[in-house]
Structure 1
């Protein structure tokens, strides 16, 4: 900016501010592409300490979301997250407020981007400052985190941490999706889990972000019921299992055969007796080491987050949970 002011006498801070306000006008008129272009230029003309820098980041993210440019929106989301996390926001309480807004806006990106469900878990569950924001300000976000964990076959280990969070927050928030997890993994109530799974189908069908995950969710939820039931009983009647996963016996047998084949489960089907016999599945020492390391990291981060929360609580300033953005 200093260089431009030296080279071009007509360029000054008021001109740069006018560029921002013009971009804001284009955004409000629905010209999101034009707004995004001007905000992109505006960001390179101002330092991170500029009064409009944070508003610029929010506006650029909003423009890309409304244009459904999910790759670019993800980059802008990460840029905004980095800005908030580097303590550029004045107070800890304001940082909490900004993270709360970021969590909600991120749903548009995460549930439309190809890698979004991985990123939901990485941000909401693995980063204590964002998990703390969810627990403090918006526990209803647990619905989306739970759906991401259930439908993610690559991050099955996240279920253990999710169960702990759902138990802690059950007094503040619960819905059929979180209750399904409680029934299955806390109470081992398979009849209750089956009932909640039916309710989940209705909930997902009417949720803006989750409706596209419906089939994937139902399939993976049945898989969790199957795995948990087999882990407890080891030898199961196909008829009983079909009842637990809400299928006809013949349909359930085909489903189990495909499941064993595709997931390489250590199990056999006795068609004459109508039984599924599970083998023993030992957890490798390597996986145990990874799990223990992740738990240690999580505890360390949670302790650091608790210290930050106590410091924020000692601050006399108070902000409302939700406030109007300047952009």
Structure 2
């Protein structure tokens, strides 16, 4: 099973994680009974009893109705308590508001998203910080799960602003932003806005590196799609260098081979591996060709940056590109001493490229 999938389990709601798991279930050539057993472990964190029953049968595991009966009783009690105060929620006590919130949460866990959403909208205006954040997370997750991505985008932006202004600890803000980084991919899956995802990842790249290093693949992907050489070389490469002991895949290895080791042939070899990884990836499968083209153009553009006045047609031909592809990735002029890192790397790159060109002759 694709190892990156597992890393999402601790960073997104289980209902969202099921979407990723079911993608693997549908596309990977794996033992169905073993996959069902793993899926059952995920479902055990929810109250999606219909799915639990079906999956238990597929996994050939005995399943009883005891949990469902206990949950139904709990849900009925929560509903009765909620019905008493929902019409005058603005006058309700903190304890009464909490009972309404718990009812909405139980409905969500049971997969009754529309009913949960209706209640969460009603109570979100009167909830306090922690409950308010939880309510907004519920609304965001429901919008994603029900494919209402216009509402999800608005709720995502609201939640980001709320995390900034709410009186919660800095460590809690870090956790919340880390979760947002992971959920951002679900919005990208629908809209394919590399620009938006790139901007968000770039804004919180320190959070990404600290809490969700598995997202580095997607940061590289959108940077490639955006054709941003300076971020790949100046921001992403240092993360790869410092975090390679924690995370590696063909995307990080491609950047490392090209921009650190200056090994063009090895970098080219990683492109096909990136394509294979995209085929399996829930978020990248539909943009595989664009990523592959962008990766090839990055190699050509690096050549163009370093050897402006040299004939690099042998290498362009070898990579199956055209001269027009060479300028795809733009490199901004150096502005201050902080950019000397890029300048020094380009000098190293020029030396390595000269050696490589000689090997082609």
State the alpha-carbon separation in 1 of the partners of residues 120 and 330 from structure 2.
Answer: 54
Q: What's the CA shift string for 1:97-140, capped at 9, x where partnerless?
A: 2222222222212332243x222222222x3xx32222222212
Change (3 A) 1:207 1:8: closer
Q: Which residue among 198, 205, 208 is the counterpart of 1:121?
A: 198
Q: Deviation at 1:81?
A: 1.8
State the alpha-carbon separation in 1 of the partners of residues 330 and 240 from structure 2.
Answer: 27
State the alpha-carbon separation in 2 of the partners of residues 62 and 9 from structure 1.
Answer: 23
Q: Where does residue 256 of structure 1 map in the other structure?
A: 322
Count of residue pairs brought into register by the alignment: 251
Q: Which residue among 168, 172, 178 is the counterpart of 2:246?
A: 172
Q: Where does residue 71 of structure 1 map in the other structure?
A: 150
Secondary structure of 1:235's aligned partner: coil
Q: Where does residue 15 of structure 2 map in the other structure?
A: none
Contiguous gaps of at least 5 residues in structure 1: 246-251, 267-280, 296-327
Q: Which residue among 92, 114, 121 is the counterpart of 1:40?
A: 121
State the alpha-carbon separation in 1 of the partners of residues 206 and 263 from structure 2.
Answer: 29
Pick the structure with more helix per residue.
Answer: 2
Q: Which residue among 220, 231, 242 is the counterpart of 2:317?
A: 242
Q: Which residue among 228, 231, 234 is the counterpart of 1:158?
A: 231
State the alpha-carbon separation in 2 of the partners of residues 288 and 231 from structure 1.
Answer: 11
State the alpha-carbon separation in 2 of the partners of residues 8 and 202 from structure 1.
Answer: 55
Deviating more after overlay: 96-105 vs 67-76: 96-105
State how 1:1-327 maps to structure 2 within 5 Å: 11-13=91-93, 14-47=95-128, 49=129, 51-90=130-169, 92-115=170-193, 117-125=194-202, 127=203, 130-153=204-227, 155-160=228-233, 161-233=235-307, 234-238=310-314, 240-243=315-318, 245=319, 252=320, 255-256=321-322, 259=324, 265=327, 288=333
Are the counterparts in 2 of residues 71 and 113 from structure 1 also a CA contact under 8 Å? Answer: no
Q: What RMSD, in angstroms, separates the aligned Cα atoms of the two structures?
A: 3.3
State the alpha-carbon separation in 2 of the partners of residues 106 and 8 from structure 1.
Answer: 35
Change (3 A) 1:217 1:11: same
Q: Deviation at 1:43?
A: 0.8
Name the TM-score, length of structure 2 as normaliser: 0.61
State the alpha-carbon separation in 2 of the partners of residues 228 and 151 from structure 1.
Answer: 15
Q: Deviation at 1:15?
A: 4.7
Higher relative contact order (CA 8 A, sep 6+): 1
Secondary structure of 1:209's aligned partner: coil
Change (3 A) 1:232 1:29: same
Shift >6 Å, 4+ stretches: none
Are the counterparts in 1 of residues 316 and 322 from structure 2 also a CA contact under 8 Å? Answer: no
Q: Where does residue 72 of structure 2 map in the other structure?
A: none
Q: Deviation at 1:183?
A: 1.2
State the alpha-carbon separation in 2 of the partners of residues 182 and 9 from structure 1.
Answer: 56
Q: What's the CA shift string for 1:2-32, capped at 9, x where partnerless?
A: xxx9x96995235533432332232122222
Secondary structure of 2:121's aligned partner: helix
State the alpha-carbon separation in 2 of the partners of residues 118 and 150 from structure 1.
Answer: 11
Q: Deviation at 1:144?
A: 0.9
Q: Where does residue 13 of structure 2 map in the other structure?
A: none
